[in-house]
Amino acid sequence: MSDIADRVRKIVVEHLNVDADKVTEKASFIDDLGADSLDQVELVMAFEEEFSVEIPDDAAESIQTFGDAVSFLEKAVK
C-alpha cells in the first residue's frame, strides 16, 4: 500500500469512525462505511486539505469508494 493510501485510510477512519480493516479498496463510503451525502462532501474536503489539492465537484462525485479516492489522489498529487 502506498503512502497516499495510508493517509487516505487514516482520514476515512477518523471521519467515519470505522475500523481500518473495513476500509478496503472496493469499500463504498455510503454503502459499506455508513457515510451519508454530507459525510462524503466532508471526506473530499479532508482529502483536499491533507494533500493540498483542489478536487472539482464533478471529480468529487466520481469518488465513491476508498479505491476511487486513492487512485484519484495518486494522479493528482504527482
Partner 1 sequence: MKLRRIVVTGLGIVSPLGANVETVWKNILDGKSGAKKVEEFDVSDLACQIACRIPLGDSAEGNFNPDDWMDVKEQRKVDPFIVYAMAAAGQALQDSGFEAKTDEQKERAGVLIGSGIGGVGGIYDASVTLAEKGPRRISPFFIPGRLINLASGYVSIRHGLKGPNHSVVTACSTGAHAIGDAARLIALDDADVMVAGGAESPVNRLSLAGFAACRALSTGFNDDPTRASRPYDKARDGFVMGEGAGTVILEEYEHAKARGAKIYGEVVGYGLSGDAHHITAPAEDGNGGYRSMQAAIKRAGLDVSDIDYVNAHGTSTPLGDEIELGAVTRLLGEHAKNLTMSSTKSAVGHLLGAAGAVEAIFSILAMRDNIAPPTINLDNPSVETEIDLVPNKAKAKEINVALSNSFGFGGTNASLVFKKLD
Interacting residues toward partner 1 by CB under 8 A:
15-17, 38, 41-42, 45, 48-49, 54
CB nearer partner 1, residue 2 or residue 31? 31
- 39 flagged as catalytic: no
Cα R_g (the chain), whole angstroms: 11
Q: How many helices (H) and strands (E) does the chain have?
A: 4, 0
CB of 35 to partner 1, least distance (A): 10
CB of 15 to partner 1, least distance (A): 7
Distance CA 66, CA 55 (A): 15
- Return the active site residues: 36
